[in-house]
């Protein structure tokens, strides 16, 4: 099992290119099932998650071909024929979002059997909304021995579906199924995350008829078939926000390129309030801070988009560990998402957690220690803390990091961070999609 060691060694200076969005790429990959024509995705991240889903798609008979490097990375998907509609537990358990192949398989072939995704380290995220929506679209669904068996031999049909609460996964999943359903589907209380807009626009490029993109009501007029095409994955707003927090934590000046700061204004507004200088550029943003001046304590509360992203909560909490004053962090999206707090405490942070609220009292300095990553976003928060901690911070279980951050050591190292990976035996970690 690999680990990462970080030595706090002063400010960061340089440029970090932002990769394509993981949470968009994996849904676009699933959408390739909907057509028998080639779909080429450019600006594709190379991550453990995309590797896992690529393996699952190949098991269905999809040709998956990776090309290029760096900013030229692309992957070609060609589902000319679907040879299998069975998604076994051993593959689905590795990434919760792979459950979202159920809808595209059902829409394309009329049947599918997909394993339930199992538990999640950051809280319960049941798939009831997904199953409910597919049932409303005319699917006959049975749960047996941990699998969802779905049938729609006559095809799916449009329906009006109002989600009981905002769900990113259920919105994306239902959208993919509905584009090939007969008639009109209306999705109310739909999630509005940028990754959903990216998926919807790609589907429109493929021939889908979708109105209301980027709003909470999506209207889909079903079509009989989709074509292929080329699509560029949007920049990863969570990676962008994570590196922005890293630059602010260490101080100095870092230019984030191939980025869209408009996707993280809820974060950058809070960073500005804390004393970080944020300067938009033609292709991204510059993050600047004088390391001799302490940040100001700033409160945040996570919300659905366009509010403060839950996937940036751990990173911002880390930023507040050395700020002047007490910050209050409210987590309103997931229960059990403060598991990074005890690990930050091992580095000397002063954090008290009560249910969905954390109080962070800034300390003068952090000190390096061995810590353990608990989920994807928590793991990068520990790297951020290690950038300023005295001595060595050793972070274990970094397979979490590999699920969502591409070439992290290389990108931070290019800006002067003292960071390296210590190789260990390979491991396939438990699921958490964030």
Q: What is the pLDDT of residues 177-208, one digit of tens each?
A: 999 999 999 999 999 999 999 999 999 999 99
188 is in an annotated binding site: no
> Is the domain of 371 the same as that of 247?
yes
> Is the domain of 194 the same as that of 298?
no
Question: What pTM was estimated for this model as a whole?
Answer: 0.94
> Is the domain of 362 the same as that of 405?
yes
- The 10s digit of each residue's pLDDT in 301-335 is 999 999 999 999 999 999 999 999 999 999 999 87
Mean pLDDT of 375-389: 92
Give CA–CA dist 242/235, Å, rounded: 13
Burial class of 83 by CB neighbour count within 10 A (0 to 12, 13 to 18, 19+): exposed
Structure tokens at 328: 């209050």
- Reference 268, options 316, 235, 323, 333; nearest CA is 316
Q: What's 77's domain CATH number?
A: 3.65.10.10
22 is in an annotated binding site: yes
426 pLDDT higher than 80: no
Give CA–CA dist 167/352, Å, rounded: 29
pLDDT at res. 125: 53
Strand residues in 260-391 grouped as ranges (E): 277-281, 284-289, 300-301, 326-330, 350-354, 357-361, 370-372
Give the strand pairing for 350-354 and 326-330. Answer: unpaired
- What secondary structure does DSSP assign to 164-187, as a single string? SS--HHHHHHHHHHHTTSBSEEEE
Host H or E run for residue 243: helix 237-250
311 is in an annotated binding site: yes
- For residue 120, indicate whether it is catalytic: yes
> Is the domain of 129 the same as that of 156?
yes
- In the chain, pLDDT over 70 holds for what percent of residues? 96
Q: Which of 120, 202, 245, 415 is catalytic?
A: 120
In the chain, the N- to C-terminal Cα span, in Å, equals 20
> Is the domain of 11 the same as that of 114?
no
255 is in an annotated binding site: no
Instruction: Choose the final residue of a domain: 171, 205, 232.
Output: 232
- The 10s digit of each residue's pLDDT in 117-163 is 864 443 445 789 999 999 999 999 999 999 999 999 999 999 999 99
Give CA–CA dist 247/360, Å, rounded: 20
Give the strand pairing for 184-188 and 147-151. Answer: unpaired
Q: How many CB atoms lie within 10 A of CB 224?
A: 8
Residue 227, domain member (yes or no): yes
pLDDT at res. 120: 45
CA angle 105, 106, 109 (to 5 degrees): 75
Structure tokens at 7: 């030595």
Which residues have a Cβ under 8 Å from the Cβ of 423 and sit 6 or more positions away? 2
Instruction: Choose the final residue of a domain: 179, 199, 232.
Output: 232
Residue 433, domain member (yes or no): no
DSSP 304: S
ω before 306 within 30° of 0 (cis)?
Answer: yes
Work out how many domains the chain is built from and give that number: 2
**Interaxial angle between packed helices 237-250 and 313-320, expressed in degrees from 0 to 180 and rounded to the nearest 10:** 10
Give CA–CA dist 285/374, Å, rounded: 29
Mean pLDDT of 47-67: 96
Task: Name the one residue in this structure whose structure tokens are 């394309």.
Answer: 108
Which domain, by its residues, includes 125? 22-232
349: confidence class by pLDDT, cuts 50, 70, 90: very high
Mean pLDDT of 27-48: 97
23 is in an annotated binding site: yes
Mean pLDDT estimate for the chain: 94
> Is the domain of 226 the same as that of 241?
no
218 is in an annotated binding site: no
């Amino acid at each position: 099992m690999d680990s990462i060691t970080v030595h706090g060694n002063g400010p960061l200076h340089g440029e970090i290119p932002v990769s394509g969005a993981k949470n968009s790429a994996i849904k676009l990959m699933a959408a390739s099932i909907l057509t028998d024509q080639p779909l080429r995705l450019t600006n594709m991240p190379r991550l453990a998650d995309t590797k896992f889903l690529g393996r699952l798609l190949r098991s269905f008979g999809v040709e998956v071909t990776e090309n290029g490097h760096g900013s030229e990375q692309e992957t070609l998907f060609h589902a000319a024929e679907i040879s299998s509609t069975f998604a076994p537990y051993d593959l689905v358990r590795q990434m919760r979002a792979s459950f979202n192949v159920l809808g595209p398989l059902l829409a394309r072939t009329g049947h599918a059997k997909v394993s339930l995704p199992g538990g999640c380290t950051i809280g319960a995220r049941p798939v009831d909304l997904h199953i409910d929506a597919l049932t409303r679209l005319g699917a006959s669904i049975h749960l047996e021995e941990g699998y969802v068996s779905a049938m729609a031999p006559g095809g799916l049909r449009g329906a009006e579906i109002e989600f009981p609460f905002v769900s990113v996964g259920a919105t994306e999943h239902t959208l993919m199924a509905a584009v090939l359903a007969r008639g009109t589907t209306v999705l109310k209380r739909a999630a509005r995350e940028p990754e959903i807009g990216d998926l919807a626009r790609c589907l429109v490029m493929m021939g889908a008829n979708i109105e209301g993109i980027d709003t909470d009501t999506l209207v889909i007029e079903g079509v009989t078939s989709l074509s292929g095409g080329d699509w560029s994955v949007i920049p990863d707003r969570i990676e962008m926000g994570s590196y922005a927090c890293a630059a602010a934590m260490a101080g100095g000046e870092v230019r984030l390129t191939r980025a869209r700061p408009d996707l993280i204004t809820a974060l950058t507004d809070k960073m500005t309030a804390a004393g970080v200088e944020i300067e938009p550029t033609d292709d991204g943003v510059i993050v600047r801070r004088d390391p001799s001046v302490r940040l100001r304590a700033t409160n945040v509360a996570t919300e659905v988009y366009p509010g403060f992203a839950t996937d940036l909560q751990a990173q911002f909490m880390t930023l507040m560990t050395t700020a002047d004053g007490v910050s209050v962090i409210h987590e309103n999206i997931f229960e059990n998402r403060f598991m990074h707090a005890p690990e930050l405490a091992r580095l000397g942070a002063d954090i008290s957690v009560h249910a969905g609220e954390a109080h962070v009292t800034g300390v003068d300095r952090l000190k390096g220690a061995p810590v353990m990553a608990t989920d994807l976003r928590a793991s990068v928060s520990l790297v951020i803390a290690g950038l300023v901690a005295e001595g060595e911070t050793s972070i274990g279980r970094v397979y979490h990091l590999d699920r969502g951050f591409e070439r992290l050591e290389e990108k931070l190292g290019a800006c002067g961070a003292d960071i390296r990976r210590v190789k260990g035996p390979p491991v396939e970690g438990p699921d958490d999609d964030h």
